[in-house]
Amino acid sequence: MKRQTKRATIYLDSDLHRALKVKAAETEYSVSELVNDAVKTALLEDSTDLDAFEERKGEPLFSFENVLKKLKKDGRI
């Protein structure tokens, strides 16, 4: 069963567009397939990050400044 697709207009840096076209020609994937895969990968990474945030929401928070102070105090930096 073929997935439904939507047409979208995006504007790419000309060098990125050229690289995509070359990669598409070399891999026999379309530019659309390459862009879809890249977007899916980015969204999956975001989803993984959100899952990690959810798992760690009960952990105490430390400011960068306080961590540096503790490292200095302990003679580690």
Give this prediction's pTM.
0.66
Question: Tell me: the pLDDT tens digits for 29-64?
Answer: 999 999 999 999 999 999 999 999 899 999 999 999
Show me where the domains of the chain are located. 14-73
Residue 58's φ and ψ, nearest 5 degrees, are -85, -5
**Are the beta carbons of 16 and 34 closer than 8 angstroms?**
no
CA distances from 38 to 8, 10, 11, 28, 31 (A): 15, 14, 15, 16, 11
